[in-house]
C-alpha cells in the first residue's frame, strides 16, 4: 500500500502539488489566527483557550472548557424558557477562534462564547431543561449534563425538588433544574360549557398529587403535567369553536417527560383559573366584556422584561440583584443597607416582575435616574426623594424670572392663560354655531343660504389682562403650571400669551402649548332627508236609469225618469209617437262624492221597449299616489362643535287685537332642522349627537282664529359611525286607514243583489321621515384650506 501510494505520488507529483498547496495555505492561515489570538492575551492574563465535548455512559454529555492557566469557578445561572445554562468567568478573556460551537448531542444543541465587560460568558443552549454539574480540574472546567429519568417507587409519592446550591465560589456546584418525580397518568379528558358561556377543561388524574404548571404564552394557555403519561386515545386536537366559549381548540400531546395541553383562544377577552378537587383538575375560561378586560388589565402591573427562571435557597439578596443585572445588562447599584438572604423559585417570569417581588419581600425600593437604577430600603428612597424635592424648591426660589412671548395659533390665548392658572377652560378653543339656513314665506319656495364658520369669540380687546398663580403650586389639588412667582398676561389683539417664569417652568409651559395648540380636525356632515308618502283610495258604486213614455189624452207625451247627474227626465216622442234615443237617463242610486273627473264607468241597457228603457252604469275609482321629497344639506364643522342645518318656511300667525291694541302678526318656524355634534375618536370613528326636528303646518285641522296647527316630529340620538359610512335614522312614521259605506235602505240588504245599491270607500295613507347622515373626516391639507 505504501509502495502504491509512493508510486502514485511519483506519477502525479504535479497534480498532488496543486491539490495540497491550497490546503496548506488554509491550514497556515488558521494556525496563524490561532497563534495571533493566543498572542493577544497579555502575559499573566487568564484566557479561555479551548472547548471540547464528549458523550459518557448513562446518557451524559460532558463539555470541557480549557484555560491558559489554573481555572476559576464560574458564576452560574440558568433559564428554563428558553432552556439555557450560562457560565460567567470574571477577569477571563477569550482566545478562541470562533464564537459558536454546534454540538447536537445529548441535551445540548450548541455553545456560544462572548467576551464583554471584562469577562467571558459561555452560554450552553439546551434542548430541554436538564440537571447539570460543574467541576474544576486543574486548568479545565467540566460541565456535565444528565438527562432526568423518571423513578418508579413501590408506592406513589412526591419527592421534594432539590434546591440548587447558592452561587458561592466552590470547587463543585450542583444545580438541579427538573426534579425527579414518580410517573403519573391522566385517566380522562373532557370539555364542557358553563351556563354563562364559560369553557371548562376537565382532566381526570390518577394521582391527586400530580404537579401541574400553567402559563400564558403567545396568546395561548399552556398547561403542563410533569412526568405524566397520556393514553394515545386522548392525544388529539379538539375543535370547540362552536361551543360559544372563549376557547377555540385544544391540543393535547405527550412527550417522554411530560404531557402538555395547549389551549388556543378565540380572542383576548377572557380570564382563566385553575383549581383541583381530589383527582379532578378544572381549567375554567371566563368570557369578559371590553370594560371588564380593561379593568383587569389596569389591575395588573405590566411587565415587559425578558422571562427567566430562578431557583435558589438561602442566597444573598445582593447576589440575586447582581444576577438580574447581568441577565438584563442594566446598570444597577445596590445600597450598603441591602443585606439578607432569600429562598425563591420563579418559573418563566419577566425579570422586572421578579425584581419587584424580591424588593417587596425585603421592603426595598428603587430610584431610577437616567440609565442607572438605585436599590435601597424604602425609607431611604423616600427620604432621598423628599430631600430632592426640597432642593428643587429652594433652587426654584433663587432662579431668575424670564419673560417669554408665545404666539398662539389655533386657540384663544386667554384659554391658555386660564389653563396655566389651573382654571377649567371647558371646551378648549372656539366653537361657533355653524350651519346652513333656508327660509321662505308660507307661499313661496324655500331658499337656502350657507353661513360658514363659528365665531372667533372676539370680544373687547383685553390687552394686558392677566393673573398670577395666586400661590397655587402645580402639585396641589388644582392643576397649574405657574409658580407663586410666575404670571401670565394676554394680548388679545395679536393673540399672544406673555409668560414670566423661571426657565424650568417656561420649558414646561411651552411643552404644554406645543401639545395643545394644534389645528382641530374637521368633519363634513352630509345629510339626506327623505319624506316618503304613500296613499290609496278606492270607490265602488252603481247607477240605474229608467224612462217611461206615455201619451196623454190631448196627444201630449210625458216621461218618467230619475234624477241622474245629467238626465232631466223629459222625453219627446217622434212623429209616430215613439221614444227616440235615450241619453242621460241614469239615476244615482249608489255612487256619491266621486272625486275623479271623470271616474271610470261602464254603461249598458238592460231592457228596451217601445215606450220604456232601463239603463245600468257601473262606476269604479282607484287612486294611488307615491311621492318623495328629498333634501340634501351638508356642512363642515370642527371636532366637538355643533353644526346646525335648517330648511323650511315661516308661518304667519295673527293674534287678534283688542279695543286698545291692534292685531299682531308673528312668524313660527315650520322647518326641517338638524343639529349634529361630531366627536372624532382616536380610532378614526365619529360619535355624533343628533337632534332632528320636522315641523309642518297642518292645513287639514280646524284652525284657531284662522291660524293652522303645527305637526311636530323629532328624533334625538347618539350614534357611533365609521369615517365615510352612513347611518339611517327613521321611525317618524304616520299611517291612517279609513273605510266607509253608503247604501240605499232595503235594497242594499237584498240577498244576492244588495251590492248593486251600495257605495264603498277605502282610504289608506302612509308617511315616513327617513334621514341619512354621513360624516367624513377631512384630511389635514383639506381642513387647512
Model confidence pLDDT, tens digit, residues 233-261: 888 889 998 888 999 999 999 876 788 99
331-334/372-377 β-pairing: parallel
Residue 553, pLDDT score: 53
Residue 553 lies in a domain: no
Answer yes or no: do 742 and 722 share one domain. Answer: yes
CB-CB contact of 158 with 151 (8 Å): no
Residue 517 lies in a domain: no
Model confidence pLDDT, tens digit, residues 119-138: 888 989 888 878 888 999 99
Answer yes or no: do 636 and 765 share one domain. Answer: yes
Answer yes or no: do 315 and 340 share one domain. Answer: yes
CATH of the domain at 96: 2.60.40.3470
Answer yes or no: do 639 and 773 share one domain. Answer: yes
More confident residue, 466 or 111: 111
Most confident of 9-18, 247-256, 437-446: 247-256
Residue 455 lies in a domain: no
Answer yes or no: do 637 and 765 share one domain. Answer: yes
Answer yes or no: do 357 and 242 share one domain. Answer: no
Model confidence pLDDT, tens digit, residues 548-569: 655 555 554 445 444 444 444 4
Residue 569 lies in a domain: no
Answer yes or no: do 119 and 195 share one domain. Answer: no
Beta-carbon count within 10 A of 713 CB: 17
CATH of the domain at 377: 3.30.1370.120
Residue 516 lies in a domain: no
Query: In the structure, what pLDDT confidence band is assigned to residue 8 with cuts at 50, 70 and 90?
Result: very low
Structural domain boundaries enclosing 119:
47-146
The mean pLDDT of 542-550, rounded to a whole number, is 62
Q: What letter does residue 707 receive in the DSSP assignment?
A: B
Look at the alpha carbons of 187, 193, 199, 200 in this order and tell me if their dihedral is positive or negative.
Answer: negative
Q: 402538555: which residue's cell?
A: 260
CB-CB contact of 447 with 439 (8 Å): yes
Residue 526, pLDDT score: 87
Most confident of 13-27, 46-60, 494-508, 755-769: 494-508
CB-CB contact of 174 with 142 (8 Å): no
Whole-Å CA distances, 785 to 408, 776, 780, 781, 782:
19, 16, 9, 7, 6
Beta-carbon count within 10 A of 563 CB: 10
Answer yes or no: do 68 and 101 share one domain. Answer: yes
286 - beta bridge partners? 271
CB-CB contact of 252 with 234 (8 Å): yes
Phi, psi angle pair for 463, to nearest 5°:
-65, 135
Residue 668: closest CA among 656, 653, 647: 653
CB-CB contact of 482 with 469 (8 Å): yes
Is the pLDDT at 460 greater than 80? The verdict is no
Q: 445529548: which residue's cell?
A: 106
Answer yes or no: do 70 and 102 share one domain. Answer: yes
User: Domain end: 146, 173, 198, which one?
Assistant: 146
Q: What letter does residue 589 receive in the DSSP assignment?
A: S
Query: In the structure, what pLDDT confidence band is assigned to residue 44 with cuts at 50, 70 and 90?
Result: low
User: Domain end: 294, 321, 356, which one?
Assistant: 294
The mean pLDDT of 400-428, rounded to a whole number, is 83
Answer yes or no: do 271 and 289 share one domain. Answer: yes
∠ CA 7-10-12, nearest 5°, is 105
Residue 379 lies in a domain: yes
Answer yes or no: do 197 and 284 share one domain. Answer: yes
Q: Which three cell numbers stand for residue 40?
A: 493577544
Residue 203: closest CA among 272, 146, 260, 256: 260
User: Domain end: 272, 294, 316, which one?
Assistant: 294
Whole-Å CA distances, 412 to 117, 118, 456:
56, 60, 9
Domain count, the chain: 4
Question: CA-to-CA distance for 562 and 275, rounded, in angstroms?
Answer: 99
The mean pLDDT of 143-153, rounded to a whole number, is 62
Is the pLDDT at 425 greater than 80? The verdict is no
Q: DSSP per residue over 492-508, as a string? A: TTTTEEEEEE-HHHHHH
Lowest mean pLDDT among 68-82, 399-413, 463-477: 463-477
More confident residue, 475 or 206: 206
Residue 434: closest CA among 631, 632, 630, 646: 646
Residue 223 lies in a domain: yes
Lowest mean pLDDT among 304-308, 367-371, 608-612, 700-704: 608-612
Query: In the structure, what pLDDT confidence band is assigned to residue 607 with cuts at 50, 70 and 90?
Result: low
Answer yes or no: do 688 and 752 share one domain. Answer: yes
Residue 339 lies in a domain: yes
∠ CA 92-167-318, nearest 5°, is 95
Helix (H, G, I), strand (E, B) or coil at 527: strand
Amino acid at each position: 500500500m505504501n509502495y502504491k501510494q509512493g508510486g502514485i505520488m511519483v506519477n502525479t507529483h504535479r497534480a498532488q502539488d496543486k491539490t495540497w498547496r491550497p490546503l496548506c495555505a488554509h491550514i497556515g492561515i488558521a494556525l496563524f489566527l490561532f497563534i495571533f489570538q493566543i498572542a493577544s492575551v497579555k502575559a499573566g492574563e487568564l484566557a479561555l483557550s479551548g472547548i471540547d465535548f464528549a458523550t459518557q455512559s448513562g446518557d451524559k454529555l460532558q463539555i470541557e472548557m480549557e484555560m491558559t492557566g489554573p481555572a476559576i469557578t464560574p458564576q452560574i445561572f440558568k433559564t428554563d424558557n428558553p432552556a439555557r445554562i450560562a457560565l460567567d468567568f470574571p477577569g477571563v478573556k477569550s482566545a478562541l477562534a470562533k464564537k459558536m460551537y454546534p454540538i447536537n448531542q445529548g441535551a445540548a444543541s450548541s455553545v456560544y462564547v462572548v467576551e464583554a465587560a471584562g469577562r467571558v460568558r459561555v452560554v450552553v443552549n439546551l434542548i430541554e431543561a436538564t440537571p447539570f454539574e460543574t467541576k474544576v480540574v486543574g486548568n479545565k472546567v467540566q460541565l456535565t449534563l444528565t438527562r432526568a429519568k423518571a423513578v418508579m417507587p413501590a408506592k406513589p409519592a412526591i419527592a421534594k425538588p432539590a434546591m440548587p446550591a447558592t452561587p458561592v465560589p466552590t470547587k463543585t456546584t450542583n444545580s438541579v433544574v427538573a426534579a425527579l418525580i414518580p410517573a403519573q397518568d391522566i385517566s380522562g379528558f373532557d370539555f364542557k360549557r358553563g351556563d354563562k358561556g364559560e369553557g371548562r377543561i376537565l382532566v381526570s388524574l390518577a394521582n391527586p398529587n400530580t404537579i401541574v404548571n400553567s402559563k400564558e404564552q403567545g396568546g395561548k394557555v399552556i398547561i403542563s403535567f410533569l412526568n405524566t403519561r397520556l393514553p394515545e386515545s386522548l392525544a388529539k386536537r379538539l375543535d370547540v369553536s362552536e361551543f360559544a366559549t372563549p376557547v377555540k381548540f385544544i391540543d393535547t400531546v405527550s412527550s417522554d417527560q411530560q404531557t402538555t395541553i395547549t389551549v388556543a383562544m378565540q380572542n383576548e377577552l377572557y380570564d382563566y383559573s385553575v383549581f383541583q378537587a381530589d383527582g379532578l383538575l378544572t381549567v375554567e375560561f371566563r368570557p369578559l366584556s371590553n370594560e371588564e378586560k380593561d379593568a383587569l388589565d389596569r389591575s395588573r402591573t405590566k411587565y415587559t422584561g425578558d422571562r427567566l427562571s430562578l431557583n435558589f435557597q438561602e442566597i444573598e439578596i445582593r447576589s440575586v440583584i447582581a444576577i438580574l443585572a447581568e441577565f438584563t445588562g442594566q446598570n444597577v447599584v445596590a445600597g450598603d443597607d441591602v443585606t439578607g438572604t432569600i429562598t425563591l423559585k420563579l418559573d418563566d417570569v419577566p425579570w422586572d416582575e421578579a425584581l419587584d417581588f424580591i424588593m417587596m419581600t425585603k421592603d426595598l425600593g428603587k430610584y431610577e435616574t437616567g440609565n442607572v437604577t438605585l436599590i435601597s430600603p424604602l425609607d431611604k428612597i423616600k427620604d432621598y426623594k423628599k430631600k430632592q424635592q426640597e432642593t428643587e424648591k429652594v433652587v426654584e426660589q433663587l432662579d431668575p424670572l424670564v419673560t417669554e412671548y408665545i404666539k398662539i395659533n389655533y386657540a384663544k390665548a386667554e384659554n391658555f392663560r386660564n389653563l396655566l392658572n389651573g382654571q377649567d377652560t371647558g371646551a378648549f378653543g372656539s366653537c361657533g354655531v355653524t350651519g346652513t339656513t333656508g327660509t321662505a314665506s308660507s307661499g313661496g319656495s324655500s331658499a337656502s343660504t350657507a353661513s360658514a364658520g363659528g365665531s372667533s369669540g372676539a370680544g373687547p380687546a383685553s390687552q394686558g389682562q392677566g393673573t398670577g398663580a395666586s400661590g397655587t403650586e402645580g402639585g396641589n389639588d388644582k392643576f397649574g403650571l405657574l409658580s407663586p412667582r410666575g404670571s401670565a398676561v394676554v394680548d388679545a389683539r395679536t393673540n399672544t400669551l406673555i409668560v414670566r417664569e423661571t426657565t424650568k417652568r417656561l420649558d414646561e409651559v411651552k411643552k404644554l402649548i406645543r401639545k395643545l395648540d394644534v389645528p382641530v380636525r374637521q368633519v363634513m356632515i352630509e345629510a339626506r332627508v327623505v319624506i316618503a308618502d304613500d296613499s290609496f283610495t278606492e270607490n265602488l258604486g252603481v247607477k240605474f236609469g229608467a224612462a217611461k213614455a206615455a201619451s196623454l189624452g190631448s196627444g201630449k207625451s210625458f216621461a218618467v225618469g230619475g234624477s241622474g247627474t245629467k238626465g232631466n227626465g223629459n222625453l219627446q216622442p217622434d212623429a209616430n209617437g215613439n221614444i227616440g234615443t235615450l241619453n242621460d237617463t241614469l239615476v244615482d242610486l249608489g255612487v256619491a262624492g266621486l272625486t275623479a273627473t271623470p271616474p271610470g264607468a261602464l254603461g249598458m241597457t238592460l231592457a228596451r221597449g217601445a215606450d220604456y228603457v232601463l239603463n245600468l252604469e257601473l262606476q269604479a275609482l282607484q287612486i294611488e299616489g307615491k311621492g318623495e321629497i328629498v333634501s340634501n344639506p351638508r356642512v363642515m364643522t370642527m371636532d366637538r362643535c355643533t353644526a346646525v342645518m335648517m330648511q323650511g318656511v315661516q308661518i304667519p300667525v295673527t293674534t287678534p287685537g283688542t279695543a286698545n291694541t291692534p292685531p299682531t302678526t308673528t312668524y313660527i318656524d315650520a322647518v326641517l332642522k338638524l343639529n349634529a355634534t361630531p366627536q372624532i375618536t382616536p380610532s378614526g370613528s365619529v360619535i355624533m349627537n343628533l337632534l332632528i326636528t320636522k315641523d309642518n303646518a297642518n292645513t287639514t285641522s280646524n284652525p284657531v282664529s284662522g291660524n293652522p296647527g303645527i305637526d311636530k316630529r323629532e328624533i334625538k340620538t347618539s350614534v357611533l359611525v365609521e369615517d365615510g359610512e352612513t347611518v339611517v335614522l327613521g321611525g317618524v312614521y304616520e299611517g291612517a286607514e279609513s273605510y266607509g259605506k253608503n247604501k240605499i235602505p232595503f235594497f242594499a240588504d237584498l240577498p244576492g243583489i244588495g251590492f248593486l245599491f251600495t257605495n264603498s270607500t277605502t282610504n289608506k295613507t302612509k308617511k315616513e321621515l327617513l334621514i341619512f347622515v354621513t360624516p367624513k373626516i377631512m384630511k389635514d391639507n383639506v381642513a387647512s384650506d
